[in-house]
Amino acid sequence: MKTGRTIRPLNAAIAAGQTSCAAVVEAALLRAKDPCGEGRWTFRALREDALADARAQDRFRAGGVASSPLAGLPVSIKDNIDLTGDVTAGGSKLLEDAPPARSDAAATTRLRAAGAVIVGRTNMSELAFSGIGYNRFFGTPANPWDRATRRIPGGSSSGAAISVTDGMAVVAIGTDTGGSVRIPAALTGLAGFKPTQARVPRDGVLPLSTLLDCVGPLAWNVADCALVDGILAGDSAPLPRADGALRLCTADDFMLERADETVHTAYAEARRILLHEGAGIAPLPPGAFDEMTAYVRRGSFSGAQAWARFGELIRARPEDIDARIAERISRGATITQADLDANARERARMMERFERAMNSFDALIAPTVPIVAPKIADMENDEHFRQANALILRNPMVANLLDAPSLTIPCHVPGTAPVGLMLVGPRMSDRRLLALGLQLERQLAAR
């Protein structure tokens, strides 16, 4: 956790006159423009008026009228979220000639009202349809854990994660349809939060799946995610207290399958620490997520809706999309209404079973992603890409199908490969889950 780049100490430094909003934003922009850095692959566009916005926020702060602790601090926005006057291209050449957005997305409007300085639009997996973060046309920013061998950042909010890890933003806003906030957060050592869908409006967000899309933050710590979630959701209430022994459940028969040794070790140590701190940890009955196998085999909601939305463009301009992304979206053409109806029935069954089980628990815990970040170069191989993508998406996708709030926090030893611990709570328990995340974050860091 980089405390010097988080919201609370930055506010303290600004209040003490040790820095200013303009200085913080200017430093972020300089990092983004550094020719030796990752900015060229992290951002699709930078906002040249960001520094003027920061100076305006300094004047507001001097007059004692800062609208929130986020006021004047640099925030990045994923390339599938509308900013007035910008093309919302979704990281894809297919949409580069789309008309500019005529208004801000609802999320962008709320961030601006809180005084956030939007520094730019971040790169992403094409059309948000991959958990790898690889982008054939606009480049792939490297994971800060291992720049020497250049490993993937995770996706689809790839640039969002690197904008935070490399100090180009204090907080990033991403979208999460099957893990696209939590995957890059987990693989790069950040916190990331996916809300219950209805809490944060999606107006002005390029859809992937209207059933599953969510908007959420990536940041260095849970406190910053909680602050930004409150802004995005229009919920100014403080987090509830999370006192007492935690009641946690697991689904390791599903979530640990094919996990690598590094993830196994970090997850086992996290469990040991939580047990030592007094948490109760019990497994859910076997098969809690058995429906997932048939769901993937029939084809996803995302695949069907992406084909309906982008299929004609892909047919007309196949040279303007990565063939692996086109292949995945094109599967949507074979998904029948009977498949979608079966998916809906089984989803409802899984949601009901999970909500019933959560009467006895505070949250489910699991590895966010069962493997550490593979090398970008390995993703040039089609089969390696397919296998890694399926495995990386598997665990976080469960929370989207449950429409459950889900948080990832780092659980690795600093200096080693990043591993995320995922928490999943019952629907609409978002603020309670964030409070639990603060508690677990403290317990894991205390080691």
b/e sequence 289-319, b meaning 16+ C-beta within 10 Å: bebbeebeebbbbbbbbbbebbeebbeeeee
Q: What is the mean pLDDT of residues 341-348?
A: 98
Percent of the chain with pLDDT over 90: 96
- 246-288 pLDDT, tens per residue? 999 999 999 999 999 999 999 999 999 999 999 999 999 999 9
- Tens of pLDDT, residue by residue over 403-429, are 999 999 999 999 999 999 999 999 999
CA–CA–CA angle 158, 254, 404 (5° rounding): 60
**Amino acid identity of 101?**
A
Task: Give dist(CA 37, CA 49) in Å, integer.
Answer: 22
Is residue 334 within 8 A of residue 300, CB to CB? The reply is no
Return the pLDDT at 43. 98
Query: Do residues 363 and 423 lie in contact, with contact meaning Cβ atoms separated by under 8 Å?
Result: yes
Q: Taking residues 339-368, report their average pLDDT.
A: 98
- Measure the CA–CA gap between 124 and 121, rounded to whole angstroms: 10
CB atoms within 10 A of CB 2: 14
Query: Across the beta sheet with 247-250, what order do the strands follow?
Result: 43-46, 117-122, 74-78, 171-175, 215-219, 191-194, 406-410, 420-424, 363-367, 247-250, 280-283
DSSP notation for 172-195: EEEE-SSSTTHHHHHHHT-EEEE-
Q: Is the pLDDT at 154 greater than 70, yes or no?
A: yes
d(CA 110, CA 60): 18
β 247-250/191-194 pair status: unpaired
Q: Is the pLDDT of residue 168 over 80?
A: yes
Q: Give the whole-angstrom CA distance, residue 440 versus residue 434.
A: 10
Closest CA to 175 of 224, 216, 124: 216
Instruction: Please answer whether residues 83 and 146 qualify as being in contact, where contact means their C-beta atoms are separated by less than 8 angstroms.
Output: no
User: Residue 93 and residue 13: Cα distance in Å, rounded?
Assistant: 41
Question: What is the mean predicted confidence (pLDDT) over 119-138?
Answer: 98
Q: What is the mean pLDDT of residues 28-38?
A: 98
Is the pTM higher than 0.75? The answer reads yes
- Give rounded-to-5 percent helix, strand, coil for the chain: 45, 15, 40
Tens-place pLDDT, residues 56-90: 999 999 999 999 999 999 999 999 999 999 999 99
C-alpha 334/C-alpha 299 separation (Å) is 8
Q: What is the mean pLDDT of residues 344-350?
A: 98
Task: Give residue 417's pLDDT.
Answer: 98
Instruction: Give percent of the chain above pLDDT 70.
Output: 99
Q: How far is CA 428 from CA 26, 207, 363, 403, in A?
A: 38, 22, 13, 9
The alpha carbon of residue 182 and the mean position of all alpha carbons in its chain are separated, in whole angstroms, by: 4
Q: Kindly list the catalytic residues.
A: 78, 156, 180
Report residue 194's pLDDT band, with 50, 70 and 90 as the boundaries.
very high
Q: What is the pLDDT of residue 402?
A: 98
Mean pLDDT of the chain, nearest integer: 97
Sign of CA dihedral 445, 359, 236, 408: positive
Q: How confident is the model at residue 1 (pLDDT cuts 50, 70, 90)?
A: low
Compute CA distances 285 → 270, 353, 354, 363, 421, whole Å. Answer: 21, 11, 11, 15, 21
pLDDT tens-digit readout, 105-115: 999 999 999 99
Q: Could you tell me where the DSSP H helices lie in 98-180?
A: 106-113, 158-165
Residue range 220-229: mean pLDDT, rounded: 98
Find, among 113, 260, 259, 196, the residue nearest to 434 by Cα.
196
The two structure tokens encoding residue 307: 């084909």
218 DSSP β-pair partners: 172, 192
pLDDT-derived band at 446, boundaries 50, 70, 90 = confident
The two most distant CA atoms of the chain are separated, in Å, by 63
